[in-house]
Amino acid sequence: MPSSFYVTTPIYYVNARPHLGHAYTTIAADVVNRFNKMRKAETYFLTGTDEHGDKIVDAAERENTTPRVYVDRISKLFRDLWPELGISNDDFIRTTDKKHIQIVEKILQDIYDAGDIYFSEYEGLYCFGCERFYTEKELVDGKCPDHQTAPERIRESNYFFRMSKYQDWLVEHINRYPDVIRPERYRNEVLSFLKEPLEDLCISRPKSRLKWGITLPFDNNYVTYVWFDALVNYVSALDYPDGKKFIKFWPSVQHIVAKDILKPHGIYWPTMLKAAGIEMYQHLNVHGYWNVDESKMSKSLGNVVEPLSLKNKYGLDAFRYFLMRDMVFGLDSNFSEDALVNRINSDLANDLGNLFSRVLAMVHKYFKGCVPQIDPTIDDSFSVSLEKDAAEAVTEFEICMDKFAFHRAIAAVWELISKMNKYVDITAPWELAKKKSGIRELEAVIYNLLEGLRVISGLIYPVMPDTARTMQKHLGNDPGVPFYELDYLRKWRIIRPGTVLPKTVTLFPRIDVKKEKTTDHDDDQKIQTRLKMKPEISMEEFAKVDLRVATITAAETIPRAKKLLKLEVDIGETRTIVAGISGSYSPEELIGKQVIIVANLKPAKLMGVLSNGMVLAAVDEKECTVAGMDKVVKPGTPLS
Ligand code: MSP
């Protein structure tokens, strides 16, 4: 059992807003982090953003802004999203942090001094999307397998890391520690890359081509590029080389990534560590992709799923549960809202929710809300089975979580839930309650069920921390007790008889499938009736509306106006507009965004501010989403 535990996610590029894929990795890291708290390990959880490189410069240019302003804005979107998703990270690193830059410089200098970085000319096939060179063999039909675009041939003088020198060592290490890269399929993939001679890694870009990076400490004309910068975050966050955190946590590091970045993490990073004299990481845990309609979710394919809107619609714990239960860690999974609703209705509302409210309702019905005491003289051999089932669930859960087999760990808990539901049916407490002689058995049955629920509430804690706490509250637990610790879950007869329990609650309301279904298959007529459309207008009437593309240049809240934001927008001239979107957007995240406005609406004063136009937005009961353009457009461009 580890005494310290360190988990990392990839640091995400800030060239796109966070989506379901990022949310999955970060929630998975949160789940293992919480699981290690269950084992009483001292834990450290790192996530962050990767902010240098061509892509960032391009994205900033598209927004007519500087890389600095741009990275600050997008990095904040990630940082602000994590608390919304219940993420308990201890640190959030940015590759533009001063401390990180200094440590990258130190490692580069150390490896350079040791002779493992050299200068040379190189010509190769470069994919701008992946920000790396490809060998002919790696291409599929001459294209990058990830971006499906042909790479460009580039010739340049650059610095190279002598990666080839460490090839034999790496093969040996992986063979000696077979689960260092897991699941097995990814270890095999790395070993199969390593069957071919490893080329040295190009680690720089001339400043003439790219300035937005970390300058090489030994050559002022070059910046380090992508992986030598990004991968180092895992040790720079711990204050490598002599920080207390580094000494304590590095030996227990667990990296989590998806298969897209297997090669940098399975090959570049280990060889970099070896060259820098840093101990090899403990495990690299690799998961598959969340796909939508069988394609990887990505901004360029336009099929991204927004984690926040799913959380808002279905609740945080249900969302986290679905992600962890539905994906087999290591394999791809196809995302569908139907599957999410099914899981909520069957696993959460039916299995867990019903068991919980059924048992608590019986405590109130038969014992006036008071936890019953088991008579010591009673033969309760029938309840021993439940204690055994719970202990088995805890053991299985621990084994599976330790291997990152989240879906199996959860299945073990649901097996216990199913056994408990059967236990209720078999022992039939309502029959026992009818006979006077049944009362002692009834006390034992209900007490054991409460204990089973206590164990379940602890086991679901890493995945559904809020629900776990709600259950605990209703089981009368002392809030100061670390109810989720495994040692505590292995015990039985913990709940104090006589404790008065609060009335039951619905943990997960059932989702009305009909109501939530989309309108995809409805015919036009039905949609028209249901949408209560406004009366028809002529083309001339519509042409009177002056719709323009506007770039938001400033945004601030209006004192005492809950929903309103005061915006300055650029439409070729500067306008002030008051928009009722404050509940759904923070002022910071709006800056730089392009929206569509009605430019010729009669000015109106709102909360003392003269609004000169109106921002278009889609509004439903929960939130509003501003209308925008598919690509960046010159501010002021009219829409027709
Ligand atoms: N910046 C690099 C990582 C550097 S780490 C030293 C990078 N960033 S990224 O923004 O592209 O993030 C990639 C990671 O995001 C994946 O490895 C995975 O963790 C997550 N995912 C992005 N899309 C995903 C899916 N469609 N499905 C599952 N995870 C996904 O690569």
Task: Output the DSSP codes for 178-195.
Answer: TTSEESHHHHHHHHHHTT
Work out the pLDDT band at 622, boundaries 50, 70, 90: low
- Ligand 1: residue of 32, 50, 299 to mutate (most ligand atoms within 8 A of CB) is 50
User: Residue 535: its pLDDT value, please?
Assistant: 61
User: Residue 2: its pLDDT value, please?
Assistant: 67
pLDDT digits (tens, 9 = 90+) for 306-345: 999 999 999 999 999 999 999 999 999 999 999 999 999 9
Q: Taking a C-beta distance cutoff of 8 angstroms, is the pair 445, 429 a contact?
A: yes
How many degrees, rounded to 5, is the angle at CA 306 between CA 300 and CA 312? 170
Work out the pLDDT band at 385, boundaries 50, 70, 90: confident
User: Residue 83: its pLDDT value, please?
Assistant: 97
Is 307 close to ligand 1, i.e. is its CB under 6 Å away? Answer: no
Is 290 close to ligand 1, i.e. is its CB under 6 Å away? Answer: yes
Q: Taking a C-beta distance cutoff of 8 angstroms, is the pair 76, 589 a contact?
A: yes
The stretch 505-520 carries a mean pLDDT of 72
User: How far is Cα 223 from Cα 219, in angstroms, rounded to an integer?
Assistant: 8
Work out the pLDDT band at 531, boundaries 50, 70, 90: very low
| Main-chain dihedrals φ then ψ at residue 180, nearest 5 degrees | -60, -35
User: Residue 135: its pLDDT value, please?
Assistant: 84
DSSP-assigned states of every residue in 420-477: HHHHHHHH-HHHHTTSGGGHHHHHHHHHHHHHHHHHHHHHTTTT-HHHHHHHHHHTT-
Mean pLDDT of the chain: 91
User: Residue 387: its pLDDT value, please?
Assistant: 94
| Main-chain dihedrals φ then ψ at residue 73, nearest 5 degrees | -70, -50
The stretch 370-387 carries a mean pLDDT of 85
Task: Select which of 40, 143, 147, 263 is catalytic.
Answer: 147
d(CA 13, ligand 1 centre) in Å:
8
Work out the pLDDT band at 519, boundaries 50, 70, 90: very low
Is 12 close to ligand 1, i.e. is its CB under 6 Å away? Answer: yes
pLDDT at 5 over 70: yes
User: How far is Cα 229 from Cα 48, in angstroms, rounded to an integer?
Assistant: 13
How many degrees, rounded to 5, is the angle at CA 288 between CA 192 and CA 271? 45
Work out the pLDDT band at 522, boundaries 50, 70, 90: very low
Please state whether 12 falls in left (phi above 0), alpha (psi between -120 and 50) or beta.
Answer: beta
**Which of 6-10, 151-155, 446-450, 478-482 bottoms out in mean pLDDT, i.e. has the lowest?**
478-482
pLDDT at 536 over 80: no
Please state whether 81 falls in left (phi above 0), alpha (psi between -120 and 50) or beta.
Answer: alpha
Is 13 close to ligand 1, i.e. is its CB under 6 Å away? Answer: yes
Work out the pLDDT band at 528, boundaries 50, 70, 90: very low
Element housing 99 (H / E): helix 98-113
Work out the pLDDT band at 627, boundaries 50, 70, 90: very high
Bridge partner list, 343:
none
d(CA 9, ligand 1 centre) in Å:
9
Element housing 120 (H / E): strand 117-127
The stretch 436-440 carries a mean pLDDT of 89
d(CA 232, ligand 1 centre) in Å:
16
Element housing 244 (H / E): helix 244-249
pLDDT at 532 over 50: no
Most confident of 105-109, 527-531, 587-591: 105-109
Work out the pLDDT band at 589, boundaries 50, 70, 90: confident
Please state whether 347 falls in left (phi above 0), alpha (psi between -120 and 50) or beta.
Answer: alpha
Please report where in the chains the tokens 């070729």 appear, as a residue.
Answer: 572
pLDDT digits (tens, 9 = 90+) for 111-155: 999 999 999 998 889 887 777 788 888 899 999 988 889 999 988
Q: Taking a C-beta distance cutoff of 8 angstroms, is the pair 307, 322 a contact?
A: no
pLDDT at 224 over 50: yes
pLDDT at 434 over 70: yes
**Which of 18-32, 190-204, 361-375, 605-619 bottoms out in mean pLDDT, i.e. has the lowest?**
605-619
Please state whether 613 falls in left (phi above 0), alpha (psi between -120 and 50) or beta.
Answer: left
What is the C-alpha end-to-end distance of the chain, expressed in Å? Answer: 65
Atom 8, ligand 1: residue with shortest CA distance: 12
Identify the residue with better confidence: 542 or 325: 325
How many degrees, rounded to 5, is the angle at CA 145 between CA 139 and CA 149? 85
Q: Is the dihedral of CA 535, 541, 542, 547 positive or negative?
A: negative
Task: Select which of 99, 211, 299, 434 is catalytic.
Answer: 299
pLDDT at 511 over 90: yes
> Residue 101 to residues 60, 109, 141: CA-CA distances in angstroms?
21, 12, 38
Identify the residue with better confidence: 147 or 220: 220
User: Residue 520: its pLDDT value, please?
Assistant: 37
Q: What is the largest CA-CA distance in the chain?
A: 92
User: How far is Cα 89 from Cα 626, in angstroms, rounded to an integer?
Assistant: 30
**Which of 52-66, 70-84, 227-241, 254-268 bottoms out in mean pLDDT, i.e. has the lowest?**
52-66
Please report where in the chains the tokens 């006036």 appear, as a residue.
Answer: 368
- Which tokens is 423 given? 């236990």
User: Residue 134: its pLDDT value, please?
Assistant: 87
Atom 5, ligand 1: residue with shortest CA distance: 10
Identify the residue with better confidence: 365 or 208: 365
Q: Taking a C-beta distance cutoff of 8 angstroms, is the pair 222, 205 a contact?
A: yes
Distance, C-alpha 607 to centroid of its chain:
39
d(CA 23, ligand 1 centre) in Å:
10
Atom 17, ligand 1: residue with shortest CA distance: 258
Work out the pLDDT band at 80, boundaries 50, 70, 90: very high
User: How far is Cα 60 from Cα 426, in angstroms, rounded to an integer?
Assistant: 65
Bridge partner list, 604:
611
Catalytic annotation on 296?
A: yes
Please report where in the chains the tokens 């770039």 appear, as a residue.
Answer: 551
Is 23 close to ligand 1, i.e. is its CB under 6 Å away? Answer: no
* SS3 assignment, position 594: strand
User: How far is Cα 275 from Cα 270, in angstroms, rounded to an integer?
Assistant: 9
Work out the pLDDT band at 516, boundaries 50, 70, 90: low
CB count within 10 Å of CB 197 equals 7
Atom 30, ligand 1: residue with shortest CA distance: 21
> Residue 314 to residues 337, 352, 571: CA-CA distances in angstroms?
10, 16, 38
> What is the model's pTM?
0.80
Task: Select which of 37, 296, 311, 566 is catalytic.
Answer: 296
User: Residue 117: its pLDDT value, please?
Assistant: 98
The stretch 610-616 carries a mean pLDDT of 92
Pairing of strands 42-50, 91-94: parallel
The stretch 66-95 carries a mean pLDDT of 97
User: Residue 524: its pLDDT value, please?
Assistant: 35
Residue 130, class by beta-carbon neighbours within 10 Å (0-12 exposed, 13-18 middle, 19+ buried)? buried
User: Residue 293: its pLDDT value, please?
Assistant: 77
User: Residue 529: its pLDDT value, please?
Assistant: 34
pLDDT at 412 over 50: yes
pLDDT digits (tens, 9 = 90+) for 303-316: 889 999 999 999 99
Q: Taking a C-beta distance cutoff of 8 angstroms, is the pair 461, 36 a contact?
A: no
**Which of 31-40, 356-365, 571-580 bottoms out in mean pLDDT, i.e. has the lowest?**
571-580
The stretch 44-63 carries a mean pLDDT of 93
User: Residue 621: its pLDDT value, please?
Assistant: 60
The stretch 284-290 carries a mean pLDDT of 97
- HSE-CB at 274 with a 13 A cutoff on CA atoms is 20
